[in-house]
Structure 1
Amino acid sequence: MRTYDEALAAARDESTFSNSSQWEAWSAKNCNRCFWDKPARQGDAVNECPLILIALEGKRPAEWLTETEQQEIHADYTCTEFRGEDDPDPEPRPVPTPPGQGELLPREPFEGHRMLTPLQPAATAAASQRGDVR
Structure 2
Amino acid sequence: MSNPIRTATTALLGLAAAAAGGALLLSAPEATAAALAPSTVTIQAEGTDLFGKVNSTRALCKADRNVIVYKQVGVRGGGNDIRFAMDTTDSDGDWNTGNTGTEGRFYAKVTKNSQCNADFSPTIRATR
**Range into which the TM-score falls when normalised by the shorter chain:** under 0.3
TM-score calculated relative to the size of structure 1: 0.20
Kindly indicate which of the two structures has a greater share of residues assigned to helix.
Answer: 1
TM-score calculated relative to the size of structure 2: 0.20
Kindly indicate which of the two structures has a greater share of residues assigned to strand.
Answer: 2
User: Which protein is bigger by CA-based radius of gyration?
Assistant: 2
